[in-house]
Amino acid sequence: MIFVIATLKTTRKDRSAFLEACRSCIAETLKEPGCLSYDLHASITNPDTFVFVERWQDREALEAHFKSPHISVLKDAAGPLIVDQSVEIISPDSVDII
């Protein structure tokens, strides 16, 4: 199993647009083979910080997700709204920070 923890920061003025961009991507991602869970959470202490917590069956499923059309759409729509980000990919034997 693979876990992904992606922390994304936006601005107060872009918060609604960011959430709107994420909605369809989340719905489509949950349909993907190998997706065990894909949740978006807002920080309690900073409402402009969001955390995707994802569980994938294996690295192959995650790599297919990265190449999916809805991820491209999300990057185009939400990318300009993100002011900071960090992504950690965690497997039983390693932690990759990208």
CATH number reported for the structural domain that contains residue 49 in this entry: 3.30.70.100
Residues 6 or more apart whose CB falls under 8 angstroms from that of 4 comprise 52, 53, 54, 56, 62, 87, 88, 89, 90
Residue type, 16: S
Residue type, 88: E
Tell me the helices (H) and strands (E) count for the chain, helix number first.
3, 5
Number of domains in the chain: 1
What is the predicted pLDDT for the residue at 68? Answer: 97
What is the predicted pLDDT for the residue at 97? Answer: 74
**By residue range, what is the domain housing residue 62?**
2-97
Could you read off the pLDDT of 36-88 as tens digits, one per residue? 999 999 999 999 999 999 999 999 999 999 999 999 999 999 999 999 999 99
